[in-house]
Amino acid sequence: MAARTPSTDVETFLATLAPAQEAAARRLRGVILAADPRIGEGIKWNAPSFHVEGRHFATMQLRRADRMLLVLHLGAGKRTMPAGAIVDPGGQLDWLGADRATWSFSGVQDVATHGAALQALLRQWMAHA
């Protein structure tokens, strides 16, 4: 498989962030993209968003300077995550409904610390997106 070409829209968006927030968002982006070679990215809902085969499953929320959220969702349509489909041994997810959850990160180090666990969780989530 050919190397993924970074999205210029996402690059442009990230360059507008404050330095600490940009560094954390870039690290989170890297962790997400490394979870599966099929993952694509773009700007949707005014933030970096990630998809597999056109189905969006995760979007960054960067409204706060001190914290960023990764919103995991099942796309634009109303769907429900099957009960027990997501194993979250670290209890990192904050469930907002049957179709979406968030994972909060406080900065670059927090993303680095939880990168492997996030990738494992993303692989589970993508199976249902």
* Gap between the Cα atoms of 37 and 29, Å rounded: 13
Note the pLDDT tens digit of each residue in 113-122: 999 999 999 9
Q: How far apart are CA 126 and CA 50, in angstroms?
A: 10
Chain Cα centroid distance, residue 97: 17
Per-residue pLDDT of 33-76, as tens digits, reads: 999 999 999 999 899 999 998 899 999 999 998 899 999 998 76
Q: State the average pLDDT over residues 92-102.
A: 93
The chain-wide mean pLDDT, for the chain, equals: 91
- Please list, in sequence order, all residues whose beta carbon lies within 8 angstroms of the beta carbon of residue 107, skipping any fewer than 6 positions away: 20, 23, 24
1: pLDDT strictly greater than 50 = no
